[in-house]
Chain A
Amino acid sequence: MRNNKLVYLLLLPGLLVLILFLVAPLFSTIFQTFKGETGLTFAKYSDFFTESYHRKVYFRTLKLALMTTVIAVILGFPTAYYISRVSKRIRGLYIILAVFPLLTSPVVRSFSWMVILGRNGLINTLLLKLNLIQEPLRLLYNELAIVIGLVYLFLPLMIMSLVGVMENIEEDLVEAAESLGATRKEIFLKIIFPLSIPGLIVGSVLVFTGSITAYTTPQLLGGSDTTVLATLIYQNAMSLFDWDTASVVATIMIVTTVVITALINKLSSKLNA
């Protein structure tokens, strides 16, 4: 049992850091939202959801995250399938090109869309030159800009999650199916797709929760009438100094991501069974 003592000694500093600086602050924030004048209460939550503005922000956040995830799957799935089937050397190149944006600052990546969608940006310049429009379009600071920015932010993550699973699908399996007369469509539907589901689940969870909690992109590409949960926390805490509401939104965000992750995981275990 000498080892056990050593193990806990080695883990202790890290655990202390996490308990003092992660668990304690989070619990303090969450606890605050249930504290009423007398005992525990859900009043702050019912107050929060009574306001139609808050409901709107909440459902907007979910809607944008869902749209982002669906688009990321539609764009990412075929791309990942393609990457998993090219030669190893070229695959490495594709992976490098997907990792690069992943490691680039989200500020830079969101900003690049300000250059493209802005008043004097690429799209407006192009449309004006072609005489398709007379006045620059307002492409920034709306929901569409946020979705574009989020898809842009998270697509590499979806592709990487899928490639990781797809490159392990045995080519023998596909060849066996082919020799037994399966069509390309059948091979895709009966072999490739089912075996890719774990990657699809991981990718979707990452993209969906990432989109719900994203701050930088909606802050830069969204406007004052496209507030989402993350920007709502910031506004309440730093501009309105409404700490209670900020804490309530923070708690709602955590609960939402946990519930959705659990739901998707449950769904996947059902599909696998």
Chain B
Amino acid sequence: MKKNNGRLLTIFALFVYMFTLVPLVIITGAAFGSDDYLRFPPGGFSLKWVENIFRVEMFVRTFKISLEVAVIGTMLALIVGIPAAYALSRYDFSGKRFLQGVFLSPVLVPGIVFGFSLLNFLIIKYQMPVYTSLLIGHTVIIMPYIIRVISSALENFDYSIEEAALSLGAGKIKTFFIIVLPNIASGVIAAFILAFINSFNNVPVSIFLTGPGVSTLPIQMMSYVEYYFDPTIAALSVILMGMTIILMLIIEKTLGLNYFTK
């Protein structure tokens, strides 16, 4: 049994949690206001700003692009990431630690620097299309999440099952798809969700990789805020928070939220 916390400490912790949560409650309140400009507390209740999201064509369009980039980027990162994660956790070889570091390195590079470098290198120097570059950028930033989550799923996998399948004559590739992959399925789902969230919310990389007809939802939201100060963004925020809650439920079911304190 743990000892009780002091009263002062309890009050302090509750105060800190209020600080982290109240702004999100306020934004929810502002989303359902009836005023024409953003204010809190709102003058009355209305759903018109939620409706307005779907009337602003660029939000609908960039939402689709964000969704597409996050899903395709995550798929690509899974395709190159799963074999790497498997190699890194299954085998011992020289330079293993170094390579582990290399695969996790995108998370250490400041997004704004990476985004600018991609613009510099892919779009300006090699004349790559903006959309392709955006997809590539997201694939790279997603990679560390895939490697880390899949590797930790593989740590818990009992490789003797794989040995058994191999000794019974199944080929290496067949064994991987029939034995290994199904056993780490929840890890793959968790990796997918985490990667998806990070791609979908990304600003600093995407902001350099936009062009005519190509932009993501967060970027569009930022430029909207610069010109309009009405509750549309608040309403959109509520929808995004709803999405986050659903994805968190999936993470809790697959990975467990304790993952974040590791």
Chain A interface residues (CB < 8 Å from chain B): 3-4, 6-7, 10-11, 13-15, 17-18, 21-22, 24-26, 28-29, 32, 75-76, 78-79, 81-83, 85-87, 92, 94-109, 111-116, 118, 120-122, 125, 152, 155-156, 159-161, 163-164, 167, 171, 174, 184, 209, 212-213, 215-216, 219-220, 230, 233-234, 237-238, 243, 246-247, 250, 253-254, 257
A7 to chain B, nearest CB (A): 5
Are the C-beta atoms of A100 and B203 separated by less than 8 Å? no
**Residues of B in contact, count (CB < 8 Å):** 89
Q: List 29 A-B contacts (CB under 8 A).
A: A11-B88, A14-B103, A15-B99, A15-B102, A17-B139, A18-B106, A21-B137, A22-B109, A28-B117, A28-B121, A32-B120, A75-B19, A78-B9, A79-B16, A86-B2, A97-B21, A107-B203, A107-B218, A115-B234, A122-B40, A125-B40, A215-B112, A216-B204, A220-B222, A230-B204, A233-B116, A250-B110, A250-B113, A253-B112
Query: How far, in whole Å, are A116 and B38 apart by their CA atoms in the complex?
Result: 10
Contact of A18 among B105, B233, B248, B262 (CB under 8 A): B105
Which positions 83-123 of chain B face chain A at CB distance < 8 Å?
83-84, 86-88, 91, 93, 99, 102-103, 105-106, 108-114, 116-122
Are the C-beta atoms of B20 and A101 separated by less than 8 Å? yes
| Interface flag for B260 (CB, 8 Å) | yes
Query: How far, in whole Å, are A105 and B136 apart by their CA atoms in the complex?
Result: 21
Query: How far, in whole Å, are A233 and B26 apart by their CA atoms in the complex?
Result: 32
Q: What residue of chain A has the Cβ atom nearest to residue B193's Cβ?
A: A103
| Interface flag for B37 (CB, 8 Å) | yes
Of B44-52, B152-160, B181-189, B237-245, which binds chain A?
Answer: B237-245
Are the C-beta atoms of A22 and B203 separated by less than 8 Å? no
| Interface flag for B179 (CB, 8 Å) | no
Are the C-beta atoms of A14 and B93 separated by less than 8 Å? no
B139 to chain A, nearest CB (A): 7
Interface centre among B30, B79, B197 (most CB of A within 10 A): B30
Are the C-beta atoms of A83 and B87 separated by less than 8 Å? no
A78 to chain B, nearest CB (A): 5
- Beta-carbon contacts of B245-262 to A below 8 Å, as 1s and 0s? 101100010000110111
Q: What residue of chain B has the Cβ atom nearest to residue A101's Cβ?
A: B20
| Interface flag for B161 (CB, 8 Å) | no
Chain B interface residues (CB < 8 Å from chain A): 1-6, 9-10, 12-13, 16-17, 19-21, 23-24, 26-27, 30, 37-41, 79-81, 83-84, 86-88, 91, 93, 99, 102-103, 105-106, 108-114, 116-122, 125, 136-137, 139-140, 143, 147, 172, 197, 200-201, 203-204, 207-208, 218, 221-222, 225, 229, 233-234, 237, 240-241, 244-245, 247-248, 252, 257-258, 260-262
B residues in contact with A212, CB < 8 Å: 110
Q: What residue of chain B has the Cβ atom nearest to residue A120's Cβ?
A: B39
Query: How far, in whole Å, are A28 and B196 apart by their CA atoms in the complex?
Result: 29
A82-B248 CB under 8 A given contacts A25-B121, A112-B23 = no
Overall SS of chain A's interface: helix
Are the C-beta atoms of A107 and B222 separated by less than 8 Å? yes
Are the C-beta atoms of B13 and A78 separated by less than 8 Å? yes
Q: What residue of chain A has the Cβ atom nearest to residue B210's Cβ?
A: A238
A residues in contact with B221, CB < 8 Å: 107, 111
A residues in contact with B16, CB < 8 Å: 75-76, 78-79, 155, 159
Are the C-beta atoms of B261 and A95 separated by less than 8 Å? yes
Query: How far, in whole Å, are A29 and B125 apart by their CA atoms in the complex?
Result: 11
Query: How far, in whole Å, are A177 and B226 apart by their CA atoms in the complex?
Result: 57
Q: What residue of chain A has the Cβ atom nearest to residue B118's Cβ?
A: A25
Interface centre among A3, A10, A152, A164 (most CB of B within 10 A): A10
Are the C-beta atoms of A220 and B225 separated by less than 8 Å? yes
A residues in contact with B41, CB < 8 Å: 122, 125
A225 to chain B, nearest CB (A): 17
A residues in contact with B245, CB < 8 Å: 100
A229 to chain B, nearest CB (A): 8
